[in-house]
Structures are given as C-alpha cells and as structure tokens.
A and B are shown apart, each in its own frame.
Chain A
Amino acid sequence: MTLSSTARLALGVPDLTYRQGLRRNVINRMLTILAGLFAAIAVLPLIAVLAYVLVKGGGMLNLSLFTARSSGLPGEGIGNAVIGTVLVTFISALIAIPVGVGGGIFLAEYSRGGSFAQFIRFGTNVMAGVPSIIAGVFVYIAIVKTKIIFGNSYSALAGGIALSILMLPTVIKTTDEGLKLVSDDLRRAALGVGASRFVTILRITLPSAFTPIATGVVLSIARAAGETAPLIFTALFSSYWPQGINSIFNPIATLSVLIYNYARLPYPAQNELAWAASFVLVLFILIINLFARWLRRFAAS
C-alpha cells in the first residue's frame, strides 16, 4: 500500500522520499559539480604540459640529438647534458643515501625518542623546507668560492653536493618511517637468538624495510634529477663533453640548466632544443616515478 505525501503527513508517517527541489539537495548537487570542476581544473595543467612537451619535444627527437654536444653551433645536441644530469644525480645519491639511511637508522633504531632525536627530526623537517636556491647559494659560498675541492671552483661535484642537501631530508624521513613499520617482534626474535644490534639492523630490520626505503629514495632521486636552482651556480654549464674522471672537478652541463639557459635565448633553434631536453628529462623522471609506484605496489601484494 502506498500513500500520497499528504496522507503520510496526516498519519504522522515521515516522508522519506528524496526530493530533488529541496534546498539542501540543490546545494548538495551544486557543490558536487563544483568539486568535480575543481578536479578537472587541477588535472588540466598536467595534460597541457605533458601534451606540449610530448609534441614539441618529441617531434625533435632523433639520434643526432644524443650524439652531439650543446656547442652553441648549428646541429648541436644535448648528449653532454644527458651525461651531466646522470653524473650529478649519481654523485648526489652517493652522498645522500648513506648519510640519510644512517641518520634514519639512528632515529628509528637507536634514539628511543630522546630529545636529541626530536631535535634531529625537527631539523629534518626544517631542512626539507629550505628553498633549493638557498642550497645553491650555500654551496657556492662554502665550496665553489673557497675552491675547497682541490682548487676547483664550479664543478659537477659541487652540484652533486648541492643536490644532496635537498635529497637528504627525504631519505632520512623515508628510512625512519620505513623502519618504524617493521614489527618489533622481528627485532626481539633476532636479539633473542643472540644477534648483536648491528647484525639485527643489517640482516633483519633493514631488509624488511627495503621496499618503503627504496621507494622513497627512488622518488628523491627523480626529484633531484629535475632540480635546477642549486645547479646554476655550482655545476654551472659546459658546452663540452665530460672528459673521463676529471669531469667531476669541472663545470658540467645538465638537462635542467640547459633548459633554463636555452629557454631565455632569443633564438628559436635553441628554444626548440630546450623543448627536446624537457622531453628527455620529463620522460626520465616519469619513468622513475612510475617505477617507484610499481615498487610500492609490488611490495604491497
């Protein structure tokens, strides 16, 4: 038996049907549409940027791009900058990973929440907020200008050090949080069968926390590879190929600085090259990112 709404009211039965015209339902629908609109706007820039980088940069892509250096002459390429980016990022990872993982081990395994650990955690958060250009200024004053590295001023090494300052907080945080996720039972079991603390960390806790730590580290490497501000007055730029091992003591070209320099030049040919470099850099970073995500999902399953 169904009743009309007036009959319901007369009988004191509440009307539970959804009424479209009700003010709160109208507001509800409008807000939902608004939120959807905002989400569409938020996704728009990514699509626009990716589309332009793909079309403008991808169209430039050919083999000679990678076999030529950024000579400033017609027919130049980005080969030296690709090598430079890999080298500088590698140097920064070489510094930031041991220091960061070590610091994270201290926070998670040794500190027991003491005041020193609190201070280091606070410092890590603060350091994560230091603007990247400040890291560049700092390394310029402390390393480039003082020529502290065997009398060399601008160098790939200085650039790597500047980048490692930016990577360090992320690596510490992910190590700290990754180790905290490891069950205490594992630690107790290892200590119980007579393993020393060092062996427990090295053989039990670190391996069990490997995936979260690796994910965080990989993401921080992707971030460092795209950084420009710390490099413009540390690694500087070079239009030559890196020469052997000595190249870490000399200025070096990187993709990001190449994009910055060439984007501001009034010559279309070099602007085009900046797009090509963007394509390579974005592709490189997106692949690393998706790899990190896959790593995370792989570990979760």
Chain B
Amino acid sequence: MEKSVDAGFRILAVALASVVAMVLLAILIVVFWGSLDSMGRYGWSFLVTSNWNPVKDEYGAFTAIYGTLLTSLLALLIAVPLGVGTAIFITENIIPLKIRTLIGLMVELLAAIPSVVLGLWAIFVMEPFIKPFLELLHTTLGWIPLFSTAPKGPGIAPAVLILVVMILPIITAISRDSLNQVPMQLRQAAYGVGTTRWGAILNVMLPAAISGIVGGVMLALGRAMGETMAVTMIIGNSNNFSWSLLAPGNTISAMLANQFGEADASQVSSLMYAAFVLMILTLAVNIIAQWLVKRLSLKY
C-alpha cells in the first residue's frame, strides 16, 4: 500500500513537471500551425515589407518587427546605465543602509505596478509632460531623420520611455543581487592595494558580477520585446513605416493586442506569423541569456 502510494506520487510529480514541456510545445505548435497559411503566401518578404492592408489582404510586418527591436534596444540603452548605476549606489556604503533598503524596496514595488496602469499614466501624465521636450527636439534637430516629424501625442519615443520604466526594476534588482554576491575579500583586496571606491567598482566589483548583470539585461530585453499593454496604449499603433522616433509606430505585441480580437481568417494567420516571429525573438534572447550566464560566471 505504502509503496504504491509512493510510486503513484512520483508518477504524479513527473506528470505535473511534464505539463511545462507540453504547454510550451503546444504554444509553439499552435502559433506555428496558425501562421503556416501566411508563411506560405508571403514567405520571407513578410519580414521586410511594411504594407499592412487587411482590405487588400496584403500583409508585411516590417514596421512592427522594426518597432519591437527599436523600442526594446533603445529602452535598454537608457535603462542599463540607470539600473546598474542605481544598483551600485544601493550596494555601496555611500548612504545609510535604511535609505538604501528603501530605494531597493521602491524599485521592486515599481516592478509590481501592472503595465496597464503604467500605460494609463503614460497617456494622461507622461506624454503631455514630455511633449514640449519632444517638440523642442523636433524644431532644433528636425533635419535628422530620427526627429523629422512633429510629435502628435502617442509615438515611439514615449513608448521607449515607458519601457525604460518597466525594465529598470529588473536590471536594478538583478544587478544589485549579483553585486551583493561578490565576495567581500575581493573588495578588501582592491582597497588594500590602494584603489579608490570607483577603482574597486569598475575594475573588481563589476567584472566579478558581470554574468549576473548581463543575464539580467538579457532578461530585461526579452521582457521589453514582449511587453504589450503600456506600449500598445502609447505607441500610436500605426503600420506606416517612419524613421522618426516622434512618429507613431507599432510593435508585434501591440499589433496583436489591437487587431487579434476582430481579425478575419487571413489576417489572423498573418498576426500568428508575427506572433511566431516574436516568439522566436524572445526565445533566442532567453536562451542566449541562459548561455551567457553560464559562460560568464566566475568561480571562486
């Protein structure tokens, strides 16, 4: 009796663990299967053409793919220095521990705020607030293609900023944890040979913590590429391609959120194709992240 309960429980545990693999596989198959029709019709050109016209049944997702990559990479560019800087600030003993803990807690709570609430805030608070700055950018630097259109409310630039807000906590929290895990002796040795605080940070602490930080950054990149709600609410959802950061744009996830509910058959297939591209992108980023962490981690 006891033995069969034991064996039964083991089988149950194995079965429950396999659910992960099955669901993951099912997601891949369903998305791939759904996109087959569109893949057959448009092939690779789907990835590089930017006309999205449900009326004429012509689909190309370049605007959305470009938007996904552009917004997440730009957000990363801003969030990495901010996040790592914050992490350094709260792992050093520059200010009292209580304040440092409070900053850490606040950054973590920022991660808990739902993205739809950030989207609401972005529409009604952030976008009106930054509009004068964007206008200034347009009037002074308008000759650069990146700022060539007048800001009209929603657009790529505000979407990038809200993505920064969303991924900042991830980068900060993971960088802080990896900096905290660096053995005390390394820092002491650095100080012992006479370096300054930042000499120790830049030459000893950061290189020792780099695997965790890079992992966190890649994780944040994956999150930024898949982020849906806040971006959908502020990016403007335009499928017309523009080089300008001030113009409305689109991302794959925003396009899905906007159109999937009321799409007809061939549009659904094209949306699934775009979803498949998004899945491959995030999968690749996540797998590279896991590989990098393994590769870069120092052993003490």
Contacts and interface: CB of A to CB of B under 8 A. Distances in A.
Asked if A pairs with B, the answer is yes
A132 B228 contact: yes
B196 A103 contact: no
Interface in B212-254: 219, 222-223, 225-229, 233, 253
Contact of A110 (B5, B10, B114, B126): B10
A107 B17 CA distance: 8
A120 interface: yes
A142 B27 CA distance: 9
B256 interface: yes
Contact of A165 (B17, B23, B121, B197): B23
Interface of B is mostly: helix
Interface in A96-118: 98-100, 102-103, 105-107, 109-111, 117
A48 interface: yes
Contacts of B225: 131
Given A45-B110, A45-B165, A48-B121, A39 B85 contact: yes
Interface stretch (A59-67, A239-247, A278-286): A278-286
Among A25, A35, A165, A227, max chain B CB count under 10 A is at A35
Contact of B114 (A133, A228, A274): A228
B19 A135 contact: no
A131 B109 contact: no
Contacts of B3: 196
Given A24-B199, A132-B228, A226-B113, A233 B103 contact: no
A128 B2 CA distance: 36
B268 to A, nearest CB: 9
B212 to A, nearest CB: 15
Please indicate which of the listed interface residues B94, B113, B201 has the most CB atoms of chain A within 10 Å of its own CB.
Answer: B113
B168 A42 contact: yes
A130 B225 CA distance: 10
B27 A106 contact: no
A84 B8 CA distance: 36
Contact of A259 (B85, B109, B120): B120
B275 A103 contact: no
Interface stretch (A3-11, A26-34, A74-82): A26-34
A91 interface: no
A294 interface: no
A129 B6 contact: no
Most buried by B among A45, A117, A201: A45
A187 interface: no
Nearest to B119: A263
Contacts of B20: 103, 120, 123-124, 127, 168-169, 172
Contacts of B113: 46, 49-50, 226, 282, 285
Interface in B190-208: 196-199, 201
A137 B82 contact: no
A259 B12 contact: no
B81 interface: yes
B121 A53 contact: yes
A68 B20 CA distance: 40
B125 A42 contact: no
13 contacts: A24-B196, A39-B90, A42-B86, A98-B16, A122-B290, A123-B24, A125-B290, A127-B24, A129-B282, A131-B226, A134-B226, A260-B116, A289-B109
Given A42-B172, A120-B21, 11 more contacts: A36-B89, A49-B118, A52-B125, A102-B13, A127-B24, A129-B282, A133-B257, A134-B27, A222-B112, A233-B260, A274-B120
Interface of A: 24-25, 27-28, 31-32, 34-39, 41-43, 45-50, 52-53, 98-100, 102-103, 105-107, 109-111, 117, 119-120, 122-138, 140-142, 165, 168-169, 172, 196-198, 201, 222-223, 225-229, 232-233, 256, 259-260, 263-264, 271, 274-275, 278, 281-282, 285-286, 289, 293
